[in-house]
Structures are given as structure tokens and as C-alpha cells.
Chain A
Amino acid sequence: MALGKIKADTLEHSTAGSLDTQYVVGGSAKGWVNFDGSAGTISARGSLNVSGFTDHASGEYTITLSSAFDSTNNMAPVGSNGNTVTDPANSFTSCVAVNTTSTRHEIYSGSNSKGDRNFVYVIQHGDLA
């Protein structure tokens, strides 16, 4: 890349110890998205490393990635809120399928049926290909 680079194996604080940069590289999120799942068609508020969203049905979404993970051992926790960012909306969420370039998620309401939420958050962690 045409930008400057700092190459280091360790970051050291003056008093609080040191950290292997591998932890920083491996531990950083490789993708994230915040989207509105309740509008007529879903739309992103912000994202990184996402190519698109598939709206399968009520409360069912797939997030597809640009830069692939190296295996299907990546993880993608998902969270949601109701009509506002502070509304818990009595829902639970799950990641139901993981590929190296996509993750599929479902959101359930308190009545155990799938439902749409205004605020849906997904974070992608793992090693990139």
C-alpha cells in the first residue's frame, strides 16, 4: 500500500506491560455492520468489509463479506434492538450458518417467532484468508 507502515512485534507501555501485536491483528474485528431490518428493504447505517445483505424473510438475514475468512471457524455474534437504540425489544438472536464469505442470522421475538428489528448489529471475528 502507498501509505506508511510501522512494523513491530510488540507494543510496550511505559508502566503497564507489553502486548504482542499478533493479539491486535488476530483480535480485531474483521467486519461489522449496523443495519435497519424493519424498513421495507433493509439498509446499512455503517459497515466494514461487507459487500451486501440478503433479506431472506422476516427476521432472517445474510451478511456477505468482501475479504474472506480463511476457514469457517470465524464467529459473528449478532445483537438487536427494537425501535430505538435503547429498546431491548424482548428478542434473542442467533447465527445459524457460517461460511468464509457470509454469515446468516435470525432474530426471534419473545413469542418465539422470527421478527424484524430496527437496529441489528453483527460483528465478524476470525482470521482472514
Chain B
Amino acid sequence: MIDTPEFQGTHLWDRLCWAKENLEGHQSEYRVVYEDSVDECAKILVPDPNWMACALQGGILPPVEVYWELAKDEAQPDFEKHTRGYLLHDTKPVGPMTEEQAIEYLIMKDCPQSVWRDYDSGNKPKLVICRKDQLPATREWRNAWKISEELSLTEKAA
């Protein structure tokens, strides 16, 4: 396995370009199914293979809290431009993650906080991590997909 250069202080874009050139993409079998509105069908979050390779390698991606800070800035009504982009580049990168840890990171980065903060507090889970083969194999009735109310490891997730 190739060693990751010391990337703290290097622009995240340059790190991603290094990863693209040096790491093999990793197609994850995991999918994240979540519902953020009772009126809408379930959403499916799919990790990108190059991103997953960065997560498994370690030393490339910034801590997920950095994205939360940028999101806070962007949510301000007078937001025009990021002034704290350096957080992406100067914060110490996170070390190697397992695939499961990477999925948790991705959920906290790319899913609405309202979904993952209390994902299992209601009558049924708002968020489920499953394998690709637990989802329907075709897009038929895609707009009616919902998280199954009675989940088991051997059943379809949506």
C-alpha cells in the first residue's frame, strides 16, 4: 500500500488529484437509505469510489466537523463567499477508516443532520445502512420506495 504524503496544509483539491492518480477506486457495497420527509420517497446515498479510496487510505480527507463549520457559514443570510476555506486544507486530515466508519462519516457529511441526529427515535428508523443487494434491483416504482417498517438483515431495505 502506498504511503500518503504529509498533507496537512496542502489544498484538499491537490490531495484529491494525488489520490485519483495513485489510489484504486473502491466500489462500496453499502448504501444509505433515509427519509427526510413523510411526503417523499426514500433517498439513497451512494459513496463515490474515489472518495471511499481516500477514506480507506487515510491522511487525505479533513475531519467531518470542517464541513459542518462551512455549512454554518453558508447558512448565514449574508453569506457571499467562504472565508474559512482554509479549514479544509489546514486541519489535520483524518487517519485511515474502515468502510463502516467511512459510511458513518459520509452520512454526517452528506445527509441532513435532522435525519441522522435522531435516526431511530420515531416509530420507524429514518435512516438505514444496507447492502446494495438489499435494495430493489430495478427502478420500478422508484417514487414509492420507503424504508421497510419491519427490517431484518435478510429482508429488502426499501
Interface residues in chain A, defined as those with a beta carbon under 8 Å from any beta carbon in chain B: 1-3, 30, 33, 38-44, 47-58, 64, 66-72, 99-102, 116, 128-129
Asked whether A55 lies within 8 Å of B43 as measured between CB atoms, the reply is: yes
The answer to whether A52 and B48 have CB atoms under 8 Å apart is yes
A-B contact pairs, 18 of them (CB 8 A): A1-B14, A30-B13, A42-B46, A43-B27, A44-B49, A50-B50, A51-B106, A52-B45, A52-B106, A52-B109, A54-B43, A54-B46, A57-B41, A67-B12, A71-B80, A128-B11, A128-B13, A129-B88
- In the complex, are the beta carbons of B135 and A70 less than 8 A apart? no
Q: B12 touching A66 by the CB < 8 A rule?
A: yes
Given contacts A68-B88, A71-B82, contact A40 B139 (CB under 8 A): yes
Number of residue pairs A-B, CB distance < 8 angstroms: 123
Asked if B97 CB lies within 8 Å of chain A CBs, one says no
Interface size class of B (residues with CB under 8 A): 35 or more
Q: Does B155 count as interface, using CB distance less than 8 angstroms?
A: no
A1-B7, A43-B46 given as contacts; is B41 within 8 A of A67 (CB)? Answer: no
B132 / chain A contacts, CB cutoff of 8 Å: 40-41
Asked if B120 is an interface residue, CB under 8 A from chain A, the answer is no
For the complex, give the distance between the alpha carbons of A67 and B20 in Å.
14
Closest to A129 in B: B85
Q: What 9 A-B pairs come out closest when comparing CB atoms?
A: A129-B85, A2-B5, A129-B82, A55-B44, A67-B12, A50-B48, A67-B13, A51-B51, A40-B137
* Residue in chain A with minimal CB distance to B4: A2
Interface centre among B11, B13, B54, B106 (most CB of A within 10 A): B13
